[in-house]
Amino acid sequence: MSESTVLVLDAQPPEPPPRLGKLTGRARILHADASNLAGQLPLADVLLVWDFSSHAVRDAWPGEGARPRWVHTASAGVDHLMCPELAASDTVVTNARGVFDQPIAEYVAALVLAMAKDLPRTLDLQRERAWEHRETRRVGGTRACVVGTGPIGRAIAGTLKALGITTALVGRTARAGVHGPDDLDRLLTRADWVVCAAPLTDDTRGMFDARRFGVMQPSARFVNIGRGALVVEDDLVEALTKRWIAGAALDVFEQEPLPGDSPLWTAPGLLVSPHMSGDTVGWRDELGTQFVELYEQWSTGQPLANVVDKKRGYVPGH
């Protein structure tokens, strides 16, 4: 294959650009931002969506001219870039499946332990120089319901099981080791920990609402590391305020950064983190290396890994 053109949708400073030095002499690298992406799309064979928080691809894809034959996003989710025109095209879409699985699983385990052992309150009391003995909760022997059966959901389930937590997986369809959607409400009524790791699709948007929080145990805790729009945030605030559930932790939000006046900041029993559950030291280098490896597959005509089913919105297979 002759030299191809790779267009990079860069993230905003101070985020560093991807390290693509291994493509020197093999690909022409162009850079774009939201303001000029539409004009550069016809020039590109490949689009690397490095700014995975941007909706620029969804806005720029419809229009005149050629379009890249392959789009790769440096994220697990693809909802930020999918639009009807891209979904209907013959362009291949891949994602960063495999990079974030174990880091996110570790983060969820940390949140579960922090809530079970009341660590936020311990830190508050230390700042107040207050000695207040309390009893905390044992996690071994409790039950978890993990919604989402991709690599991230499975890694979470495996890590929670290692803590002695009985874990049920819920996916799009029932199969060996996986419950279907019809089992979700029943599992929620028994779960001590509910973890949302589902992709954002038309079927999953707003799936955790007042009704779902209402069927959970008053002692249950909820964790979302999937996408913010999977949760009706006002309903979660109400559930926490009225003590329908004991606590929650959110790493993703419908609007990011979370506005300073959001009621989520002060909702009782809620831990807020800034979309960081998968971001460990060196994660950007891993994403860059993964793209270079995929480019090697693409440029030599090999089947690409991590190909997204554009209708479903995720990589099938689990």
Catalytic residue positions, numbered:
227, 256, 275
Instruction: Count CB-CB contacts under 10 A for residue 173.
Output: 9
* b/e sequence 131-151, b meaning 16+ C-beta within 10 Å: eeeeeeeebeebbbbbbbbbb
Beta bridge partners of 270: 248
What is the C-alpha separation between 305 and 297, in angstroms, rounded?
Answer: 8
78: left (phi over 0), alpha (psi -120 to 50) or beta: alpha
Helix (H/G/I), strand (E/B), else coil: 197: coil
CA-based end-to-end distance of the chain: 33
Instruction: Count CB-CB contacts under 10 A for residue 269.
Output: 17
